[in-house]
Amino acid sequence: MTSAMPSPPTGATPDTSHQPARAGAQQWAALGALTLAVILLAVDGTVLALAMPALTADLGATSTEVLWIGDAYSFALAGLLISMGTVADRIGRRRLLLIGVAGFGSASLLAAFAPTAGWLIAARVLLGVAGATLMPSTLSIVRNLFTDPVQRTRAIAVWSAGASGGAALGPLVGGVLLEYYWWGSVFVINLPIMALVLISVALLVPESRNPTAARFDLVSAALSVAAIVPLVWAVKHTAQNGVDQAGLLAAALSVGAALVFVRRQRTLRTPLVDVTLFARPAFTGTILVSLITIFAFSGLLFFFSQYLQLVRGHSPLQAGLREMPATLASIAVVVVAVRVIGRLGVGRALAAALLVAAAGLGVLAMAEDAPGYAALASGLILVGLGIGMAFTASTDAILSAVPRERAGAASAISEMSYELGVALGIALLGTLHIAVYRAGLPDLSGLTGPTREAVTDSLAAGTQALSGTGGQGVQVLAAARDAFAHGMQITSVIAAVLLVVSALIAWKAIPSGRRS
pLDDT in tens, 388-419: 888 778 877 776 666 665 555 566 677 677 77
Tell me the pLDDT band of 4, cut-offs 50, 70 and 90.
very low
Question: Could you read off the pLDDT of 24-71 as tens digits, one per residue?
Answer: 777 888 888 888 888 887 777 667 777 877 888 888 888 778 778 877
pLDDT the model gives residue 364 = 92
pTM: 0.72
For range 301-327, the mean pLDDT: 83
Distance, CA of 261 to chain centre: 25
Share of the chain above pLDDT 70, in %: 87
The domain locations on the chain are 25-217+268-509, 218-267
- Between CA 496 and CA 256 the distance in angstroms is 33
What's the confidence (pLDDT) of residue 359?
Answer: 95
pLDDT tier for residue 271 given thresholds of 50, 70 and 90: confident
Banded pLDDT at 516 (limits 50, 70, 90): very low
Q: Please give the Cα distance from 399 to 1 (Å, whole number).
A: 8
DSSP states along 430-449? HHHHHHHHHHT----TTS-H
Euclidean distance between CA atoms 17 and 6, whole angstroms: 16
Angstrom distance (rounded) from CA 465 to CA 460: 9
Residue 255 scores a pLDDT above 90: yes
- The torsion defined by the Cα of 456, 457, 460 and 463, in degrees rounded to 10, comes to -30
Angle value at C-alpha 41, between 35 and 42, nearest 5 degrees: 85
Enter the CATH code of domain 25-217+268-509: 1.20.1250.20
CA distance 125 to 111: 10
Instruction: Please write the tens of the pLDDT for every residue from 139-197.
Output: 778 877 887 777 877 887 787 777 766 766 777 777 788 888 888 888 898 888 888 88
Residue 435 confidence class, pLDDT cut points 50, 70, 90: confident
C-alpha angle with apex 163: 48 to 318, nearest 5 degrees?
45
| pLDDT, mean over the chain | 80
- What percent of the chain is modeled with pLDDT above 90? 13
Tell me the mean pLDDT in the region 498-510.
89
Neighbours of 482 (CB within 10 A): 16
